[in-house]
Amino acid sequence: MGKWINYGLSMLLATMLMSCSLFGDKDKDEERENSKTLTEKQLYERVQILLDKESFDLAVKNLQLLESRFPFGTYAEQSQLEIIYAYYRNNEEDSAIASAERFIRLHANHSEVDYAWYMRGLANYSLKPGLLSRFYQSDKAQRDVASAERSFREFERFIQRYPDSLYAADARARMLYIKYVLARHELVVANYYVKRKAYTAAVNRAKVVIENFQGSEATADALALLVFCYQQMELPTLAQTNLLILKNNFPNHASFDENGDYRYGANYELDKRSRLNRLSFGFLDAPRAPVFDSREQ
């Protein structure tokens, strides 16, 4: 008896789902048919409603329809601009970039072409957290930075062309953040080399931060790392020079103790093993190389 009841419920559920699907498809078909009969103005107004509702997928479809039906209409150029935004908000960054580049190519002298330039930079590097970020701790500095570098270049070109644009201030703010991400990426790699005792490679990465990302928060960490590496490489003059720069510019950096002395001085024993480490044959309380990341201290 129970078997037949379960079978009946399964069939009922399947029928309901099929009905919903059929009616849903029917509604979509009717909507598409209705869209074909709308005037250009009505179709454009529908797009505005969809954008206000944040129905970006439908907005994209209606903008595509608007352009295909009225390629030389009153709203043609405006719809080409708005589809860039709709693509971006619909997480279709590649399409947003392609649409922005198309607008720049076709309408180089348009009064709002600066928006297309700005959106090209924005779409190249989305700073929104991913779906899994709520479950897994992630640091953008540890990811591939090619898109960040590309975005930085796009924003830089945009500001050079349109320094007084309405979007210039936002672009500059985003460039500062991208500089921070790129600088931190170099430090992540530099700290990895310190851990491996590849001090020359670590020094080279730290120099990139100091030379190319001055003013970023990572500069102090890069200086502290240089001091340590030069000490380990037995280059006391270079170590002392960078230590003075660090102390004069960042006296409260985490690499200084409460007395203002550098924590990882020349006598710092990188391989010093604790009693627990020796008793556990190296399994517990293993010696660690210092990590030059003041965010973690």
Residues 182 and 273 in one domain: yes
* Domain-terminating residue out of 124, 155, 177: 124
Which spans in 213-274 are helix H? 218-232, 236-249
Confidence of residue 60 (pLDDT cuts 50, 70, 90): very high
CA count, 13 A, side-chain hemisphere, 114: 17
What DSSP assignment string belongs to 273-286? --HHHHHTTTSSS-
Residue 283: its pLDDT value, please?
A: 56
Asked whether residue 149 is domain-assigned, the answer is: yes
Say yes or no: 95 and 228 in one domain.
no
* Residue 131 within a domain: no
Percent of the chain with pLDDT over 90: 58
85 and 164 co-located in one domain: no
Does a structural domain hold residue 10? no
Mean pLDDT of the 132-151 span: 59
Domain containing residue 250? 140-297
Segment 178-183 mean pLDDT? 89
| pLDDT at position 161 | 97
Residues 259, 177 share a domain: yes
Predicted pLDDT at 13? 58
What pLDDT is recorded for position 147?
82
Rounded CA gap, 171 and 152, in Å? 9
Name residue, tokens 């006391």.
Answer: 236
Same domain, 153 and 279: yes
Alpha-carbon distance of 253 to 246, in angstroms, equals 8
Domain assignment present for 154: yes
What's the pLDDT score for residue 132? Answer: 33
pLDDT at 6 > cutoff 70: no
Q: In the prediction, which pLDDT does 209 show? A: 95
Q: Tell me, yes or no, whether 116 and 201 share the same domain.
A: no
Same domain, 271 and 176: yes
Q: What is the pLDDT of residue 275?
A: 62
Q: What is the DSSP letter of 260?
A: S
User: Do 120 and 228 reside in the same domain of the chain?
Assistant: no
Query: Could you give the CA distance from residue 2 to residue 9 in angstroms, rounded to a whole number?
Result: 11
Whether 15 is in a domain gets the answer no
Mean pLDDT taken over the chain: 82
CATH of the domain at 93: 1.25.40.10
> Is 132 within a domain?
no
Contact 202, 190 (CB under 8 A): yes
Per the structure, how many domains does the chain have? 2
By mean pLDDT, which of 7-11, 195-199, 225-229, 235-239 is the weakest?
7-11
CB 68 within 8 A of CB 32: no
Which pLDDT does position 292 carry in this prediction? 87
User: Per-residue pLDDT averaged across 58-72, rounded?
Assistant: 94
Enter the pTM of the model: 0.71
pLDDT above 70 for 11: no
In a domain, 187, yes or no: yes
Q: Is residue 115 located within the same domain as residue 153? A: no
User: Would the pLDDT of 9 be above 80?
Assistant: no
- Closest to 209 in 3D by CA, of 193, 186, 230: 186
Q: Which of 15-19, 83-87, 167-171, 194-198 has the lowest mean pLDDT?
A: 15-19
CA-to-CA distance for 167 and 215, rounded, in angstroms?
Answer: 23
Tell whether the model's pLDDT for residue 12 goes beyond 60: no
Same domain? 102 vs 69: yes
186 and 294 share a domain?
A: yes
pLDDT of residue 32: 55
Backbone φ and ψ for 127, nearest 5 degrees, come out as -95, 5
pLDDT interval class at 22 (50, 70, 90): very low
pLDDT digit string (tens) for 266-277? 666 665 555 665
Asked if residue 13 is part of any domain, the answer here is: no
Q: Are residues 98 and 204 in the same domain?
A: no
Handedness of CA 266, 271, 272, 274 (dihedral sign): positive
